[in-house]
Homo-oligomer: A and B are copies of this chain.
Amino acid sequence: MKKNISIAVVGLGQIGGYLLNELSKKKNEIEVKTGKKIKISAISAKNINKKRKFKINKKIFYKNPLDIIKNEKIDVLFEVVGLNNGISKKIVELSLKNKIHVVTPNKSLIAKHGDYLAMLAEKNKVNLEFEAAVGGGIPILRTLKEGLATNKIIKVVGILNGTCNYILTEMENSKSTFSNVLKRAQNLGYAEPLNPKYDLNGYDALSKVKILSALAFNNKISKNSGLMEGIENIEIKDINMADKLDLRIKLLGITEIINNKLFERVHPCLVKKDTYIGNINGVMNAVILKGYPVGQSILQGEGAGPGPTSSALMSDLLSILRGNIKYPFGIPSRKRKKITIYDSSKYINSLYLRFEVNDKPGVLSEITKNLARFNISIERLIQIPDKKNKKATIVIITHKINEKNSNKCLQIFKKSKNILQNPTLIRLF
């Protein structure tokens, strides 16, 4: 690799701006560590005049990032726009085809087009690096690809979405409703101000789970939608009830191999308060790996925000500058296999079910009769009356039951006149 390295940054939002600043601040350090001199040769964003925290050099500004590739001799391009298609895909594709190394924190792009883009990178002998896509500042992908390279990974469990974890923690701490805490999170910059949907419904965490699977199990990124549930239906009632049971609600992302089949899932879980995972609070992320021979490894760190993200982007840059050409997913694309998808209807858990009901004789028996019909046996039942409104909350903790039965059973309750809303289901971890 030549000594002078020309860099382009596409996307000048919160992360792009922070990154630009880091790149100029750490030029000397980068030269000491890698022997390479870096220069920022091009930047691009939708709007040159948008109000930004930092000044941009308008002389190197491109409105259309694709023009950068035509006009400049770029060695490394950062894609920090963040779409899972559109200009994000186009600029990454064009860069790789032009033998330009690419660094991106874009999990949805990688989860959707990672296989194709990795092949493109390998064909053109350049790097496609995406450490920042999972776990923010936690070097989890590098750990899977390198630090634990020859371990047989069996299971990966993570708290992968800082927004959801912040909201759940804050609901517990401040006893506020979901929507109030969401507003607070948006004001603090922990949740997207306009469209937080993809964080809240589990999509963001599932993209990360898919990337983790691909690295842990050497499979192609699964196209399967997986089992995906978000935290939108968690109410303060559930938080309080969990608290009483010495449990805590966490949105977990899990991937594992069960009988040679791949099972990826994201859903809220009730975890014990005195466990490690039960104590990852606020915007923290954590990943627990079970592997052989290494045993259990845990990595924890700040999961989002421009600081941790830039830390990961910079580590990718250094890896490239050290001349360390690597397969984007640790092994050659042609060696990556497809793994059959596990049938999630067989997934077995104890369940927490919360019913909001009319406080009438016969309602409890309606619930328990239906549960019994589907072989769902009850471990614990708590009834909280709301006499004034002639209503009641019934919380049931079940013994272990598969998804098929619990889904079918819950369908039935939808038709009941005395059950006032869809029952809330949270799996026990």
Interface residues of A (CB under 8 A from B): 18, 22, 26, 29-30, 32-33, 131, 137-139, 142-143, 146-151, 276, 279, 286, 291-302, 306-308, 310-312, 314-315, 318-319, 322-324, 326, 330-332, 335
Contact = CB atoms under 8 A, between A and B. Distances in A.
Nearest to A135: B297
A311 B151 contact: yes
A179 B25 CA distance: 54
Copies of this protein in the assembly total 2
Contacts of A318: 146, 149-150
A166 to B, nearest CB: 14
A36 to B, nearest CB: 13
A315 B330 CA distance: 12
7 contacts: A30-B150, A33-B330, A137-B293, A146-B319, A149-B318, A295-B308, A298-B299
Nearest to A310: B293
Nearest to A319: B146
Contacts of A276: 279
A294 to B, nearest CB: 4
Which 6 residue pairs across A and B have the least CB separation, nearest first? Answer: A139-B147, A293-B307, A137-B294, A294-B311, A298-B300, A297-B301
B29 A150 contact: yes
Q: Report which residue of A18, A294, A307, A332 has the largest number of chain B beta carbons within 10 angstroms of its beta carbon.
A: A294
Q: Report which residue of A22, A33, A319 has the largest number of chain B beta carbons within 10 angstroms of its beta carbon.
A: A33
A129 to B, nearest CB: 11
A97 to B, nearest CB: 24
B151 A147 contact: no
A302 B139 CA distance: 18
Nearest to A143: B139
Contacts of A33: 149-150, 330-331
A323 B286 CA distance: 31
Given A32-B335, A324-B324, A331-B33, A297 B137 contact: yes
A92 to B, nearest CB: 22
Contact of A315 (B139, B149, B292, B311): B149
Nearest to A136: B294
A159 to B, nearest CB: 13
A307 B322 contact: no
A314 B137 contact: no
Contacts of A299: 297-300
A60 to B, nearest CB: 22
Contacts of A297: 137-138, 299-302
Given A32-B335, A149-B314, 15 more contacts: A143-B147, A146-B146, A146-B315, A146-B318, A150-B314, A150-B318, A151-B311, A279-B279, A293-B306, A294-B302, A295-B301, A296-B301, A298-B298, A298-B300, A300-B300
A335 B33 CA distance: 9
A405 to B, nearest CB: 37
Contact of A150 (B292, B311, B323): B311
Contact of A294 (B147, B301, B324): B301
Nearest to A335: B32
A333 B425 CA distance: 58
Given A142-B146, A330-B33, A293 B279 contact: no
A286 B310 CA distance: 24
Nearest to A23: B150
B331 A308 contact: no
A146 B149 CA distance: 15
Given A33-B330, A139-B146, A332-B32, A295 B307 contact: yes
A16 to B, nearest CB: 15
Contacts of A293: 18, 22, 137, 306-308, 310-311
Contacts of A291: 311
Contacts of A292: 307
A78 to B, nearest CB: 14
A136 to B, nearest CB: 8
A296 B311 CA distance: 12
